[in-house]
Structure 1
């Protein structure tokens, strides 16, 4: 369980780290996600970073609860889907950001 959550967290923090570098080098217009771009322009980089970490904390907490509930094995698929989507989204975001940086 802890390895799964560590990989999920690492992928999302990699996305956040590359996002911060991208925005500092190229400005808010470099962000491809219009919602994040709007939040970035309206509320600033610290707000977006804190929101990302807060959302990640909620997702990791929910995953920890679902993984810990062994009496309901149906949660295994749900956990797998959510974790996979979170990891893939983090890695794709980091890759996209790195492409803009380079």
Structure 2
């Protein structure tokens, strides 16, 4: 699950990473969209509405990543607030992944 904004996921916006795009098979869950303007996790009903289908993956762990781990950590906190306990954060995120040319990245949504 990619916690970058949409432009980071689809590769349309330049980033500090070596290559643009997302890890194949990942879906978008922008971490910043799970927080209010003060940086607090959204209230439960609003948060559940934003997260949507991620909550329907019971039995499958959620692995979050972003550019460097910060947005992924925010998304992990938000999912934990909603009761998920099967969450992992790829702390190297795209900063690490994109440096290895042998690892695939996809462009587009």
- What range is the shorter-chain TM-score in? 0.3 to 0.5
Q: Which has the higher contact order (CA 8 A, sep 6+)?
A: 1
Q: State the TM-score, normalized to the length of structure 1.
A: 0.34
Structure with bigger gyration radius = 1
